[in-house]
Amino acid sequence: MRADKIRAIVVLLVLFVVLLFLLYPMNQNKKGTFGNILLGLDLKGGSLLEYTFVGNVTPQTASQVMTILVRRLDDANYTEANVSALGNNGVRVEIPGIDNPQEAEALIGQRAELYFAQVLDQVESSVKPAPKIGLQYAGSEWLQTKDPSVPADTWYLVNKYIPVGAGTVQLGGGDVSDASASLNTSSGGWQINLSFNSKGANAFYQITQALVGKPLAIVMDNYVLSAPRVDQAIQGGHAQITGNFTFKQAQDLAALIRSGNLPVSLKLSEEQTIGPTLGADVVRTSIIVGLIGMAIVLAYMLVYYGLLMGAIADLALVYNAIFVFGMLSLTHGILTLPGIAGIILTIGTTVDGNVIIFERIKEEMRTGKSSKASITAGFTRSTAVILDANISTLIVAFVLYYFGTGSIKGFAVTLTIGIIGTIFTALVFSRTMMDLVSPFVKNKYFPELASNESVDNAKKGPQNPSPAPKNPKNAKGGNSR
Amino acid sequence: MKKMINFVGPRYIFIAISLSVIALSLVFIFVHGFNFGVDFAGGTMITASFTKTDMSIADVRSIFSKADPAFANASIVKLSSITGGGTTTARSLFDLTVKQFYNATDRANLNASVQKIASAQGMKANFESFDTVSGYAAAGLRKSAMWAAIVVLILLLIYIAIRFQFVFGVGALASLAHDLIITAGLYSIFWISFDSTVIAALLTLLGYSLNDTIVVYSRIRENLKKMHGKPIDEIVNVSINETLSRTINTSLTTFIVVFVLFLFASSSLRPFAFGMSFGVITGTYSSIYIASPVLIGWLSKRRKTMAKK
């Protein structure tokens, strides 16, 4: 009894949480169709940005730019964006479901050239200060800052050739092996964590050793992101950029640093809103067709398994659908055609889960068990097969997520969510429902039995189980009432 | 007691049929190749404007297909309308993508004939831009697809070997390869457009077929214990029969969903829906006729060698 109750509570709790995700959109900037679910370029359209390269570019550089942009957009959660080359002259970027392309523009247009620099001077000025003359200022330049913790008109005189011992050391974004955003626990706000490769770690140690007590500027695209004071030499190859960033800023900066700097500058040449690439008519018919297909499946289950068990199978489908859409909403998923393919597969596996269980219950009933015992045995004996079948599919989905890009990733995401939902629906939801209705389920192979009675051996012997049908096809129709 | 269908008896006939279809598919794939869509092969993209603001995609398609039949299958996207650009009249704007590549002469001819057809319908057409586009789906996909396939293979083999036996893993992978090669072969034989949505269909097929195979395998695993001492082919046949009503119900319901899509979907979704529909058929077939028979030979041989000891 206790296990039943726990299952029922978990089922209701999951439903409640998932509905919450679905009904309360959390990101105000992106308005999804359901909750936070956005429809992809193929289904809904989005923003189109075209860039031209500044200067002449070889095909190799052009493809390098594309690779970096794809990585950047993926990293900054603009998944499902399309990047294509316009000959050797520029690139075309299509991003689904965004209202303000400015954010994306900042992400694409930046060269993301990152370096560390010594700070030689710092002034507040409304105009750019005059360059300083002198041997110690060779190679230095005045740069503005984007750090909100210092006055906006602060200028830093920085030099990327940092004197260490008799020579100089340089450290740039090329020596960064990873970057991620995290919460700054000491001062609040978000920060960016950098990890260096071994060359970078060594350089960073030398630089921080030489600059103890002095500020070290972190410069990106000719702006000082922040210029913290070095307290001590730092070993181990990790650094933080603390600039009092918002989460989005920190995440985007980390994505920019991770994906590397562009070998060429880009100029925005066109900005447009585009309609669905599959065509609005295609999308409409597909949705109608999908609903028709679903309706047929729901009806089939009712006809084949009878009103009681059929209804449970149908409810399981609806439950899993709510689960999938709720989780997609939580993860700010973008739904594209491949994603819908993943959901169709999920419909298949959800139906399958129930079919496996129901068929097993029928088999158990044929052996003369009471319907209650048959239900329990049916679930216990189907657990292994349901887990094995779904975990194998889950393995495929994980690998696709790891190796795939764009819409393949989208497919992997909906499939993963759907499979987890399938396992839960089959083993927990359907179980709860079946337990609930078990008093009303009759063992139709032994109709004289009550729901908790079973054929004991004494009864079974002389009677010879003639009610068992010769052909499983005769088992059609409601066995549940 | 229950009537059994003899699935494993004629297994060699079905294996022979499958092998010849696989061979035919491979020949077609390597000799004939695929009819790659724009997203793989690249092509030409035209941004065209019309001085009529309520143009539909179908209107644009009809104008362009009169000029060049290749546009009957073009992907057409409506952009937001624009004003300005030298004129004050509002114009509707469309992006058209086709697989063809155009040289300067063809391009001028196309432009001229589109303008002529448009002016016959009382509006002005203009090509705002004319670009050669790369296949954006191709670059990353080819490289990662190979690695993904290798890793999936190894992980599945390990998982199935742990949960079942090594030979079950081999059988499952053989049936997956069977399904993928034959489906891909059909795209080549019937020259069905192979675009990135087809990749999604093939991946779905993979998931479906695997699911189906594991369900039959699971029953074989159970019956190997329960029917200890019975011949392997009988155990396999009983297992297939016992799971048959489940197989029919699941396959039929999944097939209904994707086949309705295939019947009613518009032409750009047909290649996708085809792969999904055929995938259910071959995925079901291969669990019964490929994945299961593979076990029979292997398991019986091992039982014999164990008996000798």
Task: Output phi, psi for A402, to 5 deg.
Answer: -70, -40
CATH number of the domain enclosing A119: 3.30.1360.200
Task: Determine contact: A472 vs chain B, CB below 8 A.
Answer: yes
| Total count of domains within chain A | 3
In angstroms, the CA B45 to CA A171 distance is 42
Task: Please tell me the predicted confidence (pLDDT) of residue A458.
Answer: 42
> Residue A207's closest CA among A148, A167, A248, A240?
A167
Task: Output phi, psi for A455, to 5 deg.
Answer: -75, 115
Shared domain for A294 and A362, answered yes or no, is yes
State mean pLDDT over B52-66. 84
Taking CB atoms and an 8 Å limit, are B265 and A285 in contact across chains? yes
Shared domain for A329 and A444, answered yes or no, is yes
Task: Please tell me the predicted confidence (pLDDT) of residue B182.
Answer: 93
Taking CB atoms and an 8 Å limit, are B253 and A301 in contact across chains? yes
Assigned token pair, A36: 């936070």
Chain A contact set for B274 (CB, 8 A)? none
Bridge partners of A178?
A195
> Residue B293's closest CA among B206, B220, B210?
B220
Indicate the DSSP class of residue A426: I
Q: Taken in order A460, A465, A467, A471, is the CA torsion positive or negative?
A: positive
> Residue B224's closest CA among B305, B162, B156, B292?
B292
- Does any domain span residue A360? yes
State mean pLDDT over B139-156. 76
3-state secondary structure of B93: strand
Assigned token pair, B166: 């090594």
Q: In which domain, by residue range, is A306 found?
A: 2-25+278-475
In angstroms, the CA A353 to CA B246 distance is 10
Shared domain for A343 and A456, answered yes or no, is yes
Q: Which residue has the tokens 């035209």?
A: B46
Q: Mind listing the pLDDT tens digit for each residue in B183-226?
A: 999 999 998 888 877 887 888 888 889 888 999 998 898 888 88
| DSSP H or E stretch at residue B49 | strand B43-50
| DSSP H or E stretch at residue A393 | helix A371-403
Shared domain for A284 and A395, answered yes or no, is yes
Task: Determine contact: B67 vs chain A, CB below 8 A.
Answer: no
In angstroms, the CA B165 to CA B182 distance is 26
**pLDDT tens by residue, chain A, 481 residues:** 577 778 888 878 888 887 877 776 555 444 455 556 777 777 777 888 888 888 777 877 887 788 788 877 877 777 677 787 777 778 888 888 776 677 777 778 777 788 888 888 888 888 888 887 777 777 788 888 877 777 888 888 888 888 887 788 888 888 888 888 888 877 777 888 888 888 888 888 888 888 888 888 888 878 888 888 888 888 888 888 877 778 877 887 888 788 777 778 888 887 777 777 776 666 777 778 778 888 888 898 898 888 888 899 899 998 898 888 888 888 777 788 778 878 888 888 888 888 889 888 888 888 888 888 888 888 988 898 899 889 988 988 888 888 776 667 778 888 899 999 999 999 888 888 888 887 777 777 776 666 666 665 444 444 444 444 444 444 444 444 3
- Answer yes or no: is pLDDT of B1 > 50: no
Q: Which residue of chain A has the CA closest to B1? A: A470
Q: What is the pTM of this model?
A: 0.71
- Does any domain span residue A327? yes
CATH number of the domain enclosing A59: 3.30.70.3400
Shared domain for A160 and A251, answered yes or no, is yes
> Which amino acid would we find at residue A415?
L
In angstroms, the CA A236 to CA B47 distance is 53
CATH number of the domain enclosing A298: 1.20.1640.10
- Distances A311 to A68, A209, A323, A362 between C-alpha atoms, Å: 51, 71, 18, 17
- Does any domain span residue A428? yes
Taking CB atoms and an 8 Å limit, are A384 and B218 in contact across chains? yes
A108, A129, A153: which is the final residue of a domain? A108
> Which amino acid would we find at residue B255?
F
Shared domain for A308 and A429, answered yes or no, is yes
In this prediction, the answer to ipTM > 0.90 reads no
- Does any domain span residue A427? yes
Task: Determine contact: A43 vs chain B, CB below 8 A.
Answer: no
In angstroms, the CA B196 to CA A84 distance is 14
- Distances B199 to A320, B268, B276 between C-alpha atoms, Å: 25, 14, 10
In angstroms, the CA A400 to CA A388 distance is 19
Task: Determine contact: B260 vs chain A, CB below 8 A.
Answer: yes
- Does any domain span residue A102? yes
Q: Find the CB nearest A389 among B75, B206, B211.
A: B211
Q: Mind listing the pLDDT tens digit for each residue in B72-98?
A: 878 788 877 665 444 556 778 888 888
CA distance to partner chain B, nearest, from residue A188 (Å): 39
> Residue B138's closest CA among B255, B265, B11, B42?
B42
- Does any domain span residue A466? yes
Shared domain for A223 and A167, answered yes or no, is yes
Shared domain for A327 and A220, answered yes or no, is no
Q: Which residue of chain A has the CA closest to B157? A: A392
Q: How many residues does chain A have?
A: 481
Residues B53 and B81: beta-carbon distance below 8 Å: yes
Shared domain for A20 and A99, answered yes or no, is no
Q: Which pairing describes strands A176-183 and A190-196: parallel, antiparallel, or unpaired?
A: antiparallel
> For chain B, which residues make up each domain, given as ranges?
11-37+137-308, 43-133
Say which range, A133-147, B167-181, B217-231, B288-302, has the weakest mean pLDDT: A133-147
Q: How many residues does chain B have?
A: 309
Q: Mutation test of the interface with chain A: which of B245, B248, B263, B274, choosing the one with the most A Cβ atoms within 10 A?
A: B245
Angle at B295 between CA B289 and CA B301, to 5 degrees: 135
Chain B contact set for A99 (CB, 8 A)? none
CATH superfamily ID and name for B11-37+137-308 = Multidrug efflux transporter AcrB transmembrane domain (1.20.1640.10)
Taking CB atoms and an 8 Å limit, are B131 and A86 in contact across chains? yes
Largest CA distance in chain A: 113
Burial letters A256-289, b for 16+ CB under 10 A, else e: bbbbbbbebebeeeeebbbbbbbbbebbebbeeb
Largest CA distance in chain B: 94
Q: Which pairing describes strands A223-226 and A141-145: parallel, antiparallel, or unpaired?
A: parallel
Q: Which residue has the tokens 């949705």?
A: A287
Task: Determine contact: B206 vs chain A, CB below 8 A.
Answer: yes
Chain A contact set for B139 (CB, 8 A)? 63, 66-67
Q: Would you list the DSSP string of A263-277?
A: SS-EEEEEEEEE--T
In angstroms, the CA A318 to CA A430 distance is 12
Task: Please tell me the predicted confidence (pLDDT) of residue A20.
Answer: 77
Bridge partners of A157?
A121, A142
Indicate the DSSP class of residue A131: P
Indicate the DSSP class of residue B121: T
- Does any domain span residue A229? yes
Task: Determine contact: B153 vs chain A, CB below 8 A.
Answer: no
Burial of A183 (0-12, 13-18, 19+ CB in 10 A): exposed
Cα–chain-centroid distance for residue B141? Answer: 15
Residues A391 and B156: beta-carbon distance below 8 Å: no
In angstroms, the CA B285 to CA B183 distance is 13
Shared domain for A70 and A193, answered yes or no, is no
> Residue A115's closest CA among A177, A171, A199?
A171
Residues B52 and B64: beta-carbon distance below 8 Å: no
Q: Mind listing the pLDDT tens digit for each residue in B106-133?
A: 888 888 888 888 888 888 888 877 877 7
Residues A70 and A262: beta-carbon distance below 8 Å: no
Shared domain for A246 and A292, answered yes or no, is no
Residues 265-294 of B with CB under 8 A from A: 265-266, 268-269, 272, 276, 280
- Distances A81 to A71, A76, A317, A360, B54 between C-alpha atoms, Å: 10, 11, 31, 45, 28
CATH level 3 topology of B43-133: Alpha-Beta Plaits (3.30.70)
Task: Determine contact: A418 vs chain B, CB below 8 A.
Answer: no
Shared domain for A243 and A345, answered yes or no, is no
The angle, 0 to 180 degrees and rounded to 10, between the axes of the packed helices B138-163 and A59-75 is 50
Those residues whose C-beta lies under 8 Å from the C-beta of residue A105, and which sit 6 or more positions away, are A49, A268, A271
In angstroms, the CA A318 to CA A425 distance is 10
Q: Which residue of chain A has the CA closest to B173? A: A392
Cα–chain-centroid distance for residue A436? Answer: 36
A64, A93, A108: which is the final residue of a domain? A108
Residues A248 and A181: beta-carbon distance below 8 Å: no
Task: Please tell me the predicted confidence (pLDDT) of residue A154.
Answer: 86
Interface size, chain A vs chain B, as Cβ–Cβ contacts under 8 Å: 226
Task: Please tell me the predicted confidence (pLDDT) of residue A456.
Answer: 57
> Which amino acid would we find at residue B35?
N
Percent of chain B with pLDDT over 70: 91
In angstroms, the CA A428 to CA A119 distance is 62
> Residue B265's closest CA among B254, B280, B253, B276?
B276
Residues B18 and B282: beta-carbon distance below 8 Å: no
- 3-state DSSP helix/strand/coil percent for chain B, to nearest 5? 70, 15, 20
> Which amino acid would we find at residue B89?
T
Q: Would you list the DSSP string of A36-91?
A: TBEE-TTTT-EEEEEEEESS---HHHHHHHHHHHHHHHHHTT-TT-EEEEETTTEE
**H runs (alpha helix) in A100-189:** 101-109
